[in-house]
Chains A and B, each alone.
Chain A
């Protein structure tokens, strides 16, 4: 498998990073200023500086900003998780959504939504008390469980990257089938909510979601200095990495866990957003060349930008019936991914 090591050596301009921060800020500004509701620039500025009309304040502070914040964090989670997974499996196209983590989170959220319906049904007819705030936690738990299964399989399979990936694909397919089966069998009134979540959406995400994600983002980013050296070594073949002093099994486990936690928490908060974790790290490596630190940094920035812009596109294109970010990334990501698959393997 031609992994990250097969990247052209000469393309490593460090100025790439500042050059990308500008578009990142621009996309952030665009996401704040643009939307279905037309708010003049002056009013937006007024809101951001603490004034403005009540309606504009509501739209910007309670709808757009939390949504953008959740999107940025989720984007970082997805892209970083993909980057880590790609590095340790030495497979440039590995991704949590290809390997069962997303499907595990999906299954547990599905069970959670169905189960709470049953808890509430006998006593009261209202389903409004459904504790939706627990959704991210449920997603996190399921994603981690699926990650754990893949983790155990990985060791049984002798840490072979190919086998881990293939088993992840199978685990994902089984979990997905079970989730769809449960929705079909027990879904009834909850189908639309589950579908909405299943399509991977930032619709109606509140500050709660961003606050839920933040500790995991901090923990994930905080682990980077710790796993930086092992990650760099994991780019090499196992014997080479070992000769540089890599404790393969141990370091492999740590990176895999960080990756699963990032991916599972993000799926819990916004649903399965596919392809971001594959495409973004690939793009980052393409831009950064052999500069490992730069490619890592670019992955983080580009992940945030991709999800922010994708969500903005979905909001603007769909108007009232907005297009979920998961659909936007699938439509744009799939052709790119297929082209990459053909080219790189």
Chain B
């Protein structure tokens, strides 16, 4: 793909994402026509349709956009940093690392303002990521080691989370819905609360695209090009966890988006790290928005959590990647 085509691809994805958001305004328990949606969108009139669009569907769709973008950029950074195509916030344990302490805070420290949750999530996500990275030697070990390390960390944390939920009793229903991952009932305040974290992640990744790109080389080569690994590795890892820390308190764990979006982006072969990041972010936003529309329209009058939909999309992508053997399967023969 030439840079021009890459621009075009990103443009198309952005247009598709905008269309998906528009579609999200129409679909739900009450279906709106395009004219109605456009009318109330441009001139809110306080009637039921207007309220539906402005206080329920629009913030929710935009939250899905921001969430998808954040997860995708995190997945992109993690995959590059570990040179492991299977890395993503879910597999490396970052998501459960962010989610488990938030559940604990919610249950044991209920007076803590939710404004602190992203910070709690950041600390937890970083701790979990560090553990997984320690196990898999900086993620540079075999893909299996990273995956098993991350899954072990996740299993451990989810055992703790389940136990805490068990102790919580009746309250656990709302926590569980959050734990399933989704955007039901998310408002403007949720969106604004998540947005800074996503923006820092995306802008940071774009600004540091050269450094991130260098991690695709071996450690030796990166060091040879003058990259201070001891400084940049932890910094880039923090950058990867930041968007997840924003998404987790709002949407809970939404699995496999961080894995799938960068891979689809790479399949299109854009030229250059910046384009890859841009395309991943756009695709992540698109995937989650579409998944959210599915989640609230296929099982009416109930809502499915978005986490189910993304898992059902992302799981096969993961298996396809493994099957295609396009992984750096070092040591498989042994």
Binding site for B on A (CB under 8 A): 1, 91, 93, 97-98, 153, 156-157, 160, 162-163, 165-167, 169-174, 177-178, 180-188, 191-192, 195-196, 198-200, 274-275, 321, 323-324, 326-327, 330-331, 333-334, 337-338, 341-342, 345
**Bound Cα distance A185, B182 (Å):** 11
Q: Which of B180, B181, B255 has the most CB of A within 10 A?
A: B180
CA distance A199 to B157 in the complex (A): 12
Report the minimum CB–CB distance from B94 to chain A (whole Å).
14
- 3 closest Cβ pairs, A-B complex: A330-B159, A177-B311, A174-B315
B173 CB within 8 Å of chain A: yes
Asked if B332 and A171 make an inter-chain contact with CB atoms under 8 angstroms apart, the answer reads no
Point out the residue from A1, A173, A342 that lies within 8 Å of B135, measured CB to CB: A342
B284 near A: Cβ within 8 Å?
no
From the candidates A167, A169, A195, A334, name the one contacting B166 in the complex (CB within 8 A).
Answer: A195
A167 to chain B: which residues have CB within 8 Å? 318-319, 322-323
Given contacts A180-B179, A185-B302, A192-B169, contact A330 B155 (CB under 8 A): yes
Q: A165-B148, A178-B308, A184-B176 are in contact. Are A327 and B160 (CB under 8 A)?
A: yes
B176 and A191 within 8 A (CB): yes
- The answer to whether the Cβ of B329 comes within 8 Å of any Cβ in the partner chain is yes
Measured between beta carbons, the chain B residues less than 8 angstroms from A326 are 159, 162
A319 to chain B, nearest CB (A): 13
Complex Cα distance A345/B162, Å?
Answer: 30
Min C-beta distance of B6 to chain A, whole Å: 30
Inter-chain CA distance A341–B151, complex, in Å, is 12
Query: B162-197 interface mask toward A, CB cutoff 8 Å, 1 = contact, 0 = none?
Result: 110111011011001101111000000000000000
Chain A residue, CB-CB nearest to B295: A181
Secondary structure class of chain A's binding surface, majority of residues:
helix
Stretch of B137-145, B200-208, B235-243 with 4 or more beta carbons under 8 angstroms from chain A: B137-145
Asked if A160 meets B180 with Cβ closer than 8 Å, knowing A169-B91, A186-B302, the reply is no
B307 contacts the other chain (CB 8 A): yes
Residues in B whose Cβ lies below 8 Å from that of A160:
332
Residue B108 interfacial (CB < 8 Å): no
Contacting residues, chain A, for B86 (C-beta < 8 A):
166
Q: Could you tell me if A192 and B166 are in contact, using CB atoms closer than 8 angstroms? A: yes
Residues from chain A with a CB closer than 8 A to the CB of B46 are: none
Known: A274-B155, A330-B155. A173 touches B180 (CB 8 A): no
The 8 Å CB contact of A166, one of B131, B134, B147, B314, is: B147
Name the contact of A341 in the complex, choosing from B152, B166, B329, B334 (C-beta under 8 A).
B152
The smallest C-beta distance from A277 to any residue of chain B, in angstroms, reads 11
A177 to B180, CA, bound (A): 7
* Contact yes or no, A177 B181, CB < 8 A: yes
A191-B173 contact in complex given A274-B155, A338-B135, C-beta closer than 8 Å: yes
Is B262 part of the binding interface, using a Cβ–Cβ cutoff of 8 Å? no
A91-B144, A192-B172, A341-B152 are known contacts. Are A181 and B256 too (CB-CB below 8 A)?
no
- The answer to whether A334 touches B156 (Cβ under 8 A) is yes
B152:A183 contact, CB within 8 angstroms = no
Are A166 and B143 CB-contacts (below 8 A) given A185-B302, A324-B163, A327-B160? yes
Do residues A185 and B172 form an inter-chain contact, with CB atoms below 8 A? no
| With A167-B319, A321-B167, A324-B163 as contacts: A185 and B303 at CB distance below 8 Å | yes
Neighbouring B residues of A177 by C-beta, 8 Å: 180-181, 255, 307-308, 310-311
Q: Is B97 an interface residue, CB under 8 A from the partner?
A: no
Given contacts A191-B173, A195-B165, A274-B155, contact A174 B311 (CB under 8 A): yes
Contact A342 B159 (CB under 8 A): no
Chain B residues with CB under 8 A of A342: 134-137, 149
Does the CB pair B319–A170 fall under 8 Å?
Answer: yes
Q: Are the C-beta atoms of B318 and A195 separated by less than 8 Å?
A: no
A331 to B161 CA separation, bound complex (whole angstroms):
12
Q: How far is the CA of A187 from the CA of B179 in the complex (A)?
A: 13
B316 to chain A, nearest CB (A): 8
Q: A157-B322, A181-B311, A274-B156 are in contact. List 19 more A-B contacts (CB 8 A).
A: A156-B323, A165-B144, A165-B148, A174-B255, A174-B315, A177-B307, A177-B311, A186-B302, A191-B173, A192-B172, A275-B152, A324-B163, A331-B159, A334-B153, A334-B156, A338-B131, A338-B134, A338-B135, A341-B148
| A178 touches which of B137, B149, B256, B312 (Cβ 8 Å) | B312
Q: Specify which chain A residues have a CB less than 8 angstroms from the CB of B134 in the assembled complex.
A: 338, 342
Partner of A337, one of B141, B152, B177, B256: B152
Q: Which residues of A contact B278 (CB under 8 A)?
A: none
**Is B144 within 8 A of A345, CB to CB?**
yes
CB distance from A23 to the nearest CB of B (A): 26
How far is A195 from B159 in the complex, measured between Cα atoms in Å?
Answer: 10
Q: Which residue in B136, B156, B167, B311 is a CB contact (below 8 Å) of A173?
A: B311
Q: Is B122 an interface position by the 8 A CB rule?
A: no
B121 within 8 A of A: no
B312 in complex: contacting residue of A97, A174, A191, A327, CB < 8 Å: A174
Residues of B near A333 (CB, < 8 A) are: 156
Q: Is the CB of B148 within 8 A of A169?
A: yes
In this complex, the member of A91, A182, A191 whose beta carbon has the largest number of chain B beta carbons within 10 angstroms is A191
Measured CB to CB, the closest approach of chain B to A336, in angstroms, equals 10
Nearest A residue to B165 by beta-carbon distance?
A195
Q: How far is the CB of B178 from chain A (nearest CB, A)?
A: 8
**Inter-chain contact A185/B299, CB cutoff 8 Å:** yes
A191 vs B147: C-alpha distance when bound (angstroms): 30
Task: Say yes or no for B331: interface residue by CB 8 A criterion.
Answer: yes
Q: Could you tell me the distance between the alpha carbons of A185 and B303 in the complex, rounded to whole angstroms?
A: 7
CA distance A163 to B307 in the complex (A): 24
**Contact, CB under 8 Å: A334 / B152:** yes
Measured CA separation A296–B240 after assembly (Å): 43
